[in-house]
Every structure is written in C-alpha cells, then in structure tokens.
Amino acid sequence: MSDSNSQRLSALVRALISGYVDSYALLNFGVYASFMTGNTTTGGLHAGQANLAAAGHSLLPIPFFLLGILAGSLVVRLDQHHALRRISLLVAAMLAVAAARAYFAWPGWLGIMLLSSAMGLLNTSVTQVGGQAVSLGFMTGDLNNLAQHLAQGILRAPVVQSRDSRDTHWRRAALLGSPWVFFLAGAVLGGALASRIAVWTLLLPAATLLLLALLEPAAPPAGQAATAR
C-alpha cells in the first residue's frame, strides 16, 4: 500500500471513530466531544437565557479539547517517528477509562473531560493525506475545502503544489468527501450500539485504536497538529 493510501485509510478509520465518540457524547451528556462550534453555540444560547449552569455544561468540553490538541501537538513535535502510535495508544486508554466511568457510574463531567480531551488528541494524529489537509473530527472545514475544489475543478484551475498528473481538484474533492462519509457512518454506528451494548460502547473504538497502534509502522504522522474551530 502506498504512503498516500495508508494515510487515507488511517484518516478514514479515525474519522469514523470521531463520529462514533461524538454521537456517544451527545447521546449520554448532551454535548459534543469534537464539534466545538456546536458546544459554543449551545453554551451561548443558555447564557443568553441566563441559564448559567447549562451554559457551563455546554462549554466544559472546549478547554479539554484544546488541552488534547496541545498534548497531541507536543507528542508530534517531540517524537515524530512514533507520534501516531503514541497518540493512538493514549486515546485508546482514555476511551477505556471513559468506559469504566460508565460502568462504575462515575460523574458525567469526568466522561466529558475524558472524551473531549481524547478527541482533541485524535485530531492531531492525521491532518494531511498526500498534499491535502484533512480534518478528522470537525467536518465543516473538509466540506468547505471540498466545495472550493469543485469550484476550482469547474474553472479548470491548476492545483497548487500538485504532486503528479493525477492530483486534480476532483480527486481532492473526493478525498475530502470520504472523511465526512466515515464520520457520518461512525455517528450512526455509535448511536445504534449505544442502546445495545450500553456501558461497553466505548470499548469498540478503544480496541480499534489499539489494533491500529500495533499494526501501524513507526513513521512521521501525516502533517502537523490540527487547530480547533
């Protein structure tokens, strides 16, 4: 498998996990683990209605999401050759602890802190496929860039920093559509399984990341740390 295809597969699996965990967090805590724009809007809405407790609950994931990105960015800078594996193991461990939180009925705020931090970390793992920047946990950026590539393709504009003759705006648009499809599939799967396997729901993405960490060769992660919206 080529490096580009390996990067794409790695990004797609992680986008699916992001959708899965976001769905779980919304269902169980009423907040998003990855979608900070949604949390900001909800928090602002509650604050405008003078419901400060609800506003604080909605805004709680944001500092921990940022903390996860900070931690992931440091891992990437300090140990590029093993960063992807280390981040996968860290996120897997945090999801396992979040599953234990559900089993032992620990406070919900602990679950929010764990999941938002884990998704911040995960968003730093794969941020580029080939020459195209991608997002794993927030789809607005991917969809915006997808539409931009479609427009450039219609105009037959050249691809900036094209890697080869096959690197077209149409291929990049298709590449950017893939994470959205997998994120959506993950959200569907997370919602479906949450009602069936309950407290064990988060063990599936944790096991998947553990498997990825064991299978992936030591190599620099694709790109630098993503920024939160």
Task: Please write down the HEC assignment for all residues of 185-201.
Answer: HHHHHHHHHHHHHHHHC
Domains with residue ranges and CATH for the chain: 3-215 (1.20.1250)
Contacts of 208 (CB under 8 A, 6+ apart): 13, 17
**Considering the entire predicted model, what is its pTM?**
0.90
| CB distance 97 to 70 below 8 Å | no
pLDDT score at 219: 56
| CB distance 177 to 170 below 8 Å | no
Q: Is the pLDDT of residue 1 over 70?
A: no
| CB distance 50 to 61 below 8 Å | no
Q: Distance (Å, rounded) from C-alpha 35 to C-alpha 16?
A: 14
* 76-104 pLDDT tens trace: 999 888 899 999 999 999 999 999 999 99
- Per the model's pLDDT, the better-predicted residue between 221 and 142 turns out to be 142
Q: Is the pLDDT of residue 22 over 50?
A: yes
pLDDT score at 181: 96
The secondary element (H helix, E strand) that includes residue 29 is helix 3-29
Confidence label for 145 from pLDDT (cuts 50, 70 and 90): very high
Confidence label for 224 from pLDDT (cuts 50, 70 and 90): very low
Q: Which of 101, 98, 134 is nearest to 209 (CA)?
A: 98
pLDDT score at 6: 83
pLDDT score at 197: 92
Strand-pairing partners, residue 132, are: 129
Phi first, then psi, for residue 132 (nearest 5°) are -110, 125
Structure-block tokens of residue 110: 């602990």
Average pLDDT over all residues of the chain: 91
Least confident of 44-58, 60-74, 151-165: 151-165
Cα dihedral value 26, 125, 56, 142, nearest 10: -70
Instruction: Please say whether the dihedral angle defined by the alpha carbons of residues 96, 99, 105 and 107, taken in this order, is positive or negative.
Output: positive
